[in-house]
Amino acid sequence: MNIALIAHDKKKELMVQFCIAYKGIFAKHNLIATGTTGGLIIDATGLNVHKFLSGTQGGDQQIGARIAYNEIDLVLFFRDPLTGQSNEPDVEPLLKLCDIHNVPIATNIATAEVLIRGLDRGDMDWRDIVNPKNSKF
Q: Which residues does the annotation mark as catalytic?
A: 60
Give CA 12 to chain center in angstroms.
Answer: 12
Tell me if 55 sits within 8 A of 88, measured CB to CB. Answer: yes
Q: 3-class DSSP state for residue 85? A: coil
Which amino acid does the sequence have at 98?
Answer: C
How much of the chain is helix, strand and coil, in % rounded to 5? 50, 15, 35
Partners of 31 in the beta sheet?
A: 3, 49
Residue 5 C-beta-side C-alpha neighbours within 13 Å: 31
